[in-house]
Structure 1
Amino acid sequence: MTKEIETTKNWLEKIVVGLNLCPFARQPFSTGRVRYVVYEGTDIVQLAILMIQEAQYL
């Protein structure tokens, strides 16, 4: 697990789920259904493509 994903998971657990900021987040988070992707490139077009692909995955 990358540091970025670990940090994001911690933020989701402590802030989003822990403070109940999004009542819909608890169930997918606690059942491991949240998908994490790290983009390490620098190309803005490739980043946009990745974001569109991830949105379609939803």
Structure 2
Amino acid sequence: MGKNYCDQLFKLKQVFSELPPKERKQQRLEQAAPILEAFWSWLETVSALKNSKLNKAVTYE
């Protein structure tokens, strides 16, 4: 599931790559923000084994 959010963000990056910098930034703010919000919400629901790599990744600060 988390990989899906990352894939969506990378796809947006590709789509925006041809835009001028200011427009690229605006599009990222508008379109990537909801994906990031969903990703952070999903992270809060992940339960992983205490010493697992997944736990280290989702609790990384």
TM-score range, shorter chain: 0.3 to 0.5
- The answer to which structure, 1 or 2, has the higher relative contact order (CA under 8 A, 6+ apart) is 2
Query: Could you say which structure has the higher helix fraction?
Result: 2
Instruction: Name the TM-score, length of structure 2 as normaliser.
Output: 0.36
Structure 1 or 2, whichever has the larger Rg, is 2
